[in-house]
Amino acid sequence: MYFLRSFLKCKYIPNIRKPSKINFSTQDVFHIEHLNRRTVLKLSGSDTTNYLQSLITNDVKTVDAEPSLYSLLLNPKGRVLYDLILYKVSSAEYLVEYDSTGEDYLHRHLLMYRLRKQVKIEPLKDMSVWVIYKQDNNETNKDLNMQVLSNDLDKTDKIVKYTNDPRISNLGIRIISKSDVNVHQSLRHSGLNLIGEGSYQLLRYKLGIGEGVLDHPPGNCLPFETNVDLLNGVSFTKGCYIGQEMTAKSNFVLSVRKRLMPIILEDMNSYPIFPPECNILNEKKRKVGRLRSHLGRYGLGLLKYEDCAKSEFLQLEKFDIKLKAIRPSWWPSNLRSDKNEHLFL
């Protein structure tokens, strides 16, 4: 398993290596989607970098070398509150992309820890988030014509940021724009297929990647259960931050038996409304995890992944509905729950 760490030219960030020009394949279909549930806020002020460093799981300093950064915000008990993507604008200004569902709670959290620091927290209601991705879960960045996209995106000052997704390359390209610009129209020469809401969510579910409060219920998840360590979202060498003690202990001492995984429900015309965190059982009626979320037959489960591999079949408790748990192809091949054997990238 490996991660592609190629960089797409990003506005405001100097010395980013330009990708080579690659022609589109006529056999490939690339989608562009407006992510309606994602929103943006701006953090600015002389204390902003140190303020962020004390809050998030990743090292803010790495965003100097990379266009964007994935991270989590934790509560003092080490539980996940929010996942976010951070973009650096200048030495004292950052954009934060996050799930708009938890907007009010996130603002309260940020204000609570701001204290007297010189940090301005400003929701940007005039910003939108878009994503470009391949219709399957192959590595998008190998095939997208980055140079053509860069040329078109640079023609308007209403495209604020664009960069490869900092988690894995399969998730495509992230774009932050002014709300009054149609990014698809700006890229009309690139042959992108404008698609409605939900297709990108299905892609994430097939990959086993959660995003937002639906997939990571605030206060209910441990960081490694979200695969943050495999998604370039945590630093084990930075200084202290809120919730760090439990994360460090999980890394060096505790086992990580449960992780978010892709699941496929047996095919049905329609599905009942499942209770929150519906239990998933094996053939011996033993609990191996919980259903986290789904869209049609594809979804995410928080599962004991080694137990699932040994099970003959899985099913939802109190429902005669079977499912499959899929080990993501982007996981390290030697990933184990025993920390003595665990691999971190």
Distances in whole angstroms, Cα of residue 225 to Cα of each of 80, 209, 250, 267, 336: 10, 11, 11, 27, 13
Which residues contact residue 29 at a Cβ distance below 8 angstroms, ignoring those fewer than 6 apart? 134, 135, 193
User: Residues 299, 303, 304, CA angle at the centre, nearest 5°?
Assistant: 160
What pLDDT is stored for residue 4 in this prediction?
33
At residue 15's C-alpha, the angle toward residues 14 and 17, to 5°, is 125
Contacts of 192 (CB under 8 A, 6+ apart): 30, 31, 32, 132, 184
Question: pLDDT category, 3, cuts 50, 70, 90?
Answer: very low
The H helix count followed by the E strand count for the chain is 7, 16
pLDDT number for residue 30: 87
Query: Tell me, what's the pLDDT at 149?
Result: 75
**Which of the pair, 74 or 16, is modelled with greater confidence?**
74
Among candidate residues 188, 206, 187, 186, the one with its CA nearest the CA of residue 198: 206
In whole angstroms, what is the distance from residue 254 CA to residue 246 CA? 9
Residue 242 has pLDDT above 90, yes or no: yes
198: left (phi over 0), alpha (psi -120 to 50) or beta: left
User: Model confidence over 112-163: pLDDT tens digits?
Assistant: 999 999 999 999 999 999 999 987 765 555 556 566 677 778 877 889 999 9
Side chain identity at residue 17, one-letter code: R
Which of 34, 29, 127, 133 is closest to 87 using CA atoms? Answer: 127
Cα 183 → chain centroid = 21
Predicted TM-score of the model (pTM): 0.87
* E runs forming strands in 20-91: 30-34, 38-44, 68-74, 80-90
Average pLDDT over residues 11-17: 33
| pLDDT over 70 percentage in the chain | 85
Q: What percent of the chain has pLDDT over 90?
A: 70
More confident call, 24 vs 255: 255
The answer for residues whose C-beta is within 8 angstroms of residue 10's C-beta and 6 or more apart is: 16, 67, 68, 87, 161, 162, 163
Which pLDDT belongs to residue 245? 85
- 297 CA to centre of own chain: 21
Its sign, for the CA torsion 134, 140, 144, 147, is: positive
